[in-house]
Copies of this chain bind each other. A is one copy, B any other.
Amino acid sequence: MCELLGMSANVPTDICFSFSGLIQRGGNTGPHRDGWGITFYEGKGFRTFKDPKPSSQSKIAELVQNYPIKSCAVVSHIRQANRGQVNLENTHPFTRELWGRYWTFAHNGQLSDYQELETGRFRPVGETDSELSFCWLLHQLESKFPEPPQDMVAMFRYVAQCCESLKKLGVYNMMLSDGEYVMTFCTNHLYWITRRAPFGKASLLDEDITINFQEETTPNDVVSVIATQPLTGNETWHRMKPGEYNLFHFGEMIESNVDALVDVKFAEVKPKSQAPTESL
């Protein structure tokens, strides 16, 4: 399995704090040693940092952790390989162009009998079920919307329907972004949190780092973070249900296919033995 991390924000925001927690799980507090990647959108452009090395030992991850790149949409992934070798072409996220936009995708899970999925002109380069399913999704989208769709929300709903079909082939937790929207689909492990004023402090579960968001933000900032497991121990993360689809737009969750969202009991989260910091 792997771990996913995503962010949607209404103002360009850096993800250094959350990323610092995530990369510890890449070979240190977690077993996800088989590479990592992170894609930052800036306007319509993006940049991706990738390494097939464990994130906890990666010089490039160190740069990303210490060099604040501000973005409104981020997709990140640390890998524990199941399908496909450990190499760069199999390292998430994957980015392709459709309708004159760059689409970035990352997946956590494993599919069976995926080889039959028809990907049309979007050919996978690596051997992962993840990249192949992404190519299949893009092929489905281009077939249904030969021209850029006007109603993006309807388009994402269609992606969610496609994910529902993929779910029948196995575990399919995914994130998809075009730099403006961040979409998630969950089959088992995915949590989200939206931070807004009044901001407080938060402490990472995987490293002794506490941040006071009040010092880092303005009262109008709205930032949502999505992760395979909660990254902080003193905040309430919402657990996504199996089959749940969510769409984030500049920080706000603008729709979801379920009404009631299950809250994470603090007990469900395993904080480090350190004394918890002031709770929000």
Q: A residues touching B (Cβ–Cβ < 8 Å)?
A: 42-52, 59-60, 63, 67, 87-91, 96-97, 99-102, 121-126, 142
Contact = CB atoms under 8 A, between A and B. Distances in A.
A43 B122 contact: no
A160 to B, nearest CB: 24
A97 B122 contact: yes
A147 to B, nearest CB: 11
Contact of A100 (B50, B63, B123): B123
A46 B99 CA distance: 23
Contacts of A126: 44-45
Nearest to A123: B100
Given A45-B89, A47-B50, A49-B49, 16 more contacts: A42-B52, A42-B87, A45-B88, A45-B90, A45-B91, A47-B48, A47-B51, A47-B88, A63-B63, A97-B122, A97-B123, A97-B125, A99-B123, A100-B124, A100-B125, A121-B142
A90 B43 CA distance: 11
A12 to B, nearest CB: 12
Contact of A102 (B47, B49, B60, B125): B125
Contacts of A42: 52, 87-88
A101 B125 contact: yes
A97 B124 CA distance: 9
Nearest to A91: B45
